[in-house]
Amino acid sequence: CRHLVLVLGDQLDAAGPALRDLDPTRDRVWMCEAVEESTHVPSHKARILLFLSAMRHFREALETAGVSVHYRALDAEADPSLAAGLAAAIRVLRPERLILTEPGEHRVLSALQGVAEASAVPLEIRPDAHFICSRTEFDRWAAGRKGLRLEHFYRHLRKREGILMEGPSDAAQPVGGQWNLDQENRKSFGRQGPGMVPEPIGFPSDVITRDLIAVIERRFPDAPGNLERFDWPVTAAQARAALADFIRNRLAAFGPWQDAMWTGEPYLYHARISAALNLKLLDPRTAIDAAISAFEANQAPLASVEGFVRQILGWREYVRGIYWREGPVYLESNALEAHRPLPNFYWTGKTDYACLEASIGQVLEYGYGHHIQRLMVTGLFVLLLGVAPREVHSWYLAMFVDAVEWVEAPNVIGMSQYADGGLLASKPYVATGQYINRMSNYCRHCRYDPKEAVGESACPFTTLYWDFLDRHRDRFANHPRTALQWRNLARLEPERLGAIRRQAEVLRGDLASGGNG
Ligand code: FAD
Ligand code: SF4
């Protein structure tokens, strides 16, 4: 063929850059189900299913439009790696040129470049149009800056794109006069709970998905997670329906309850669109525009709309810029020199720490946890414990349906584990169990007490929090944004600190030997 257009599992947009000038009479599309490519530990069944089902639906749509797809299916032959699969396709199809949209992972990019080189076929890599800020623009913004703070980047993009801005273009101001409305958000549900949360729209499995469920259960019986609840969008039309459902039924309450958690409520007022965005079934601009239209129609308050735009225009674009700018060495960061193993219960959810049982149990069941569960429950615990960031990274990459390395790694290694030494987060996100108690109802169902750091009912978060401050005293005691926490540490009686240290030591020993504390 003339061009062999490579479409990876997270590039499922028929209008994407690589497919733009496809000539169905001379070109072919290559797709390959290489499940073990994206993670070195077994992936959650729902994550495998989501990728494969979305790929097969995409293939069907292309073929219906008259495009010829060279598709290497998982169940048809021995598992190929992406590289082996591509090399085999090149031998058969003898393309003049390979066309690829830039992938979302360093390793995939170099593997495909390696095959092209070895096969002596030119490889054309096109920028990914699904991002509002290109990699080059991000690097330009970052060049010469001392710190790469989200807030600065977000304001820069909002001005440049004229999103939620008002007034003359040379002196535009944020709508409502403020850039950040977080102080109106961050509420908890108090004792009464969230009441009736609108059930998000789900998408029942069709024949493609059902066939794949059988394949996955047969091929990966021991993979974590289950498929009973699988109802994620797997086509662009479903992704648009998921977005519309969120805008209509949950956006208005998104802002205030962004950080709240509640047993048995996996989604609350969150959008549930990250996987669709990451697979490119949905464009981030469509999501932002829909939220702004709801604001303009008085269907959602500014705090919720700005909060949502901040996540997509701000955080999502920012972490992608960081991922590519820092390069593969970023994955090896370990500024706090954490080397402990991941507790075994992260793979089973079997623990009597109620918050972790709920958050991990939910991930096993749905492949989903919302931001605060990821950051302040599953992430916080391993940060305080001192687990090796690389192990934490592997767990997050495997367990969430929306996990793709460019977004997962900066969130885990930078934001959650502070392993990049503060490049992404200005301070480590550390707290005692009291934070979890304030933001959820988990502690009410727990045999531990979030106020206690020592003794039989000591909350492991609270014990390990003080122990973390103690262990990292030298690094943070004079840090301007964390000084208060460390001043509180300095106020602890020496005997109490000694007891906390001993309790932490016993806890770490228990966890290392497979216990849950
Ligand atoms: P909502 O809470 O409704 O937010 C709307 C959208 O904003 C999301 O769909 C997402 O696209 C974007 N967004 C929100 N926060 C972030 C963020 N911190 N970084 C980038 N985009 C953001 N997101 C992933 O897509 N894949 C991951 O593998 C991933 N791993 C994470 C690991 C940790 C430790 C943490 C703290 C966060 C991680 N996130 C990840 C970010 C965030 O938690 C998810 O995007 C969000 O929970 C997805 O659910 P939602 O669509 O309901 O999002
Ligand atoms: Fe989690 Fe501690 Fe609360 Fe138990 S007491 S739910 S371990 S924060």
CA distance linking residue 266 with residue 53, whole number of Å: 23
- Is residue 111 within 8 Å of residue 140, measured between CB atoms? no
Classify each residue of 279-317 as buried b or exposed e, where b means 16 or more C-beta atoms within 10 Å of its C-beta: bbbbbbeebbebbbebbeeeebbbbbbbbbbbbbbbbbb
Distances (CA, A) of 458 to 265, 376, 436, 446, 510: 26, 18, 14, 11, 14
Could you identify the atom of ligand 1 that is nearest to the CA of residue 254? 3
Looking at the CA of 381, name the nearest ligand. 2
∠ at Cα 80 (78, 86), nearest 5°?
Answer: 135
DSSP-based helix, strand, coil % in the chain, nearest 5:
50, 5, 40
Could you identify the atom of ligand 1 that is nearest to the CA of residue 267? 52
pLDDT of residue 81: 86
pLDDT of residue 16: 94
Q: Is the CB of 400 under 6 A from ligand 1?
A: yes
Q: Is the CB of 132 under 6 A from ligand 2?
A: no
Distance (Å) from CA 64 to ligand 1 centroid: 33
pLDDT of residue 370: 97
- 501 Cβ neighbours under 8 A, 6+ residues apart: 467, 470
Q: What is the pTM of this model?
A: 0.96
- Is residue 318 within 8 Å of residue 335, measured between CB atoms? no
pLDDT of residue 131: 97
pLDDT tens for the chain, 517 residues long, are: 899 999 999 999 999 999 999 999 999 999 999 876 555 667 999 999 999 999 999 999 999 999 999 999 986 556 668 999 999 999 999 999 999 999 999 999 999 999 999 999 999 999 999 999 999 999 999 998 888 999 999 999 999 999 999 998 888 999 999 998 877 778 999 888 998 899 999 999 999 999 999 999 998 899 999 999 999 999 999 999 999 999 999 999 999 999 999 999 999 999 999 999 999 999 999 999 999 999 999 999 999 999 999 999 999 999 999 999 999 999 999 999 999 999 999 999 999 999 999 999 999 999 999 999 999 999 999 999 999 999 999 999 999 999 999 999 999 999 999 999 999 998 999 999 999 999 999 999 999 999 999 999 999 999 999 999 999 999 987 787 777 888 889 899 999 999 999 999 999 999 988 877 4
CA distance linking residue 512 with residue 445, whole number of Å: 25
Q: What is the largest CA-CA distance in the chain?
A: 79
ipTM of the complex as predicted = 0.99
Looking only at the bridges linking them, the beta strands covering 28-32 and 3-6 are parallel
Give residue 360's region: left, alpha or beta (phi > 0; psi -120 to 50): alpha
Reference 406, options 315, 311, 272, 339; nearest CA is 315
DSSP string, 45-89: HHHHHHHHHHHHHHHHHHHHTT--EEEE-TTTSS---HHHHHHHH
- Is residue 369 within 8 Å of residue 396, measured between CB atoms? no
Reference 109, options 408, 413, 406; nearest CA is 406
Q: Is the CB of 271 under 6 A from ligand 1?
A: yes
Q: Is the CB of 194 under 6 A from ligand 2?
A: no
What are residue 71's DSSP bridge partners? 31
Q: Is the CB of 319 under 6 A from ligand 1?
A: yes
pLDDT of residue 310: 96
Ligand 2 pocket test target in 263, 372, 382, 436 with most atoms within 8 Å of CB: 436
Looking at the CA of 465, name the nearest ligand. 2
Residue ranges and CATH numbers for the domains of the chain are 3-126 (3.40.50.620), 135-200+250-326 (1.25.40.80), 344-512 (1.10.579.10)
- 42 Cβ neighbours under 8 A, 6+ residues apart: 220, 222, 223, 224, 398
CA distance linking residue 286 with residue 314, whole number of Å: 15
pLDDT of residue 517: 46
Looking at the CA of 414, name the nearest ligand. 1
- Is residue 241 within 8 Å of residue 201, measured between CB atoms? yes
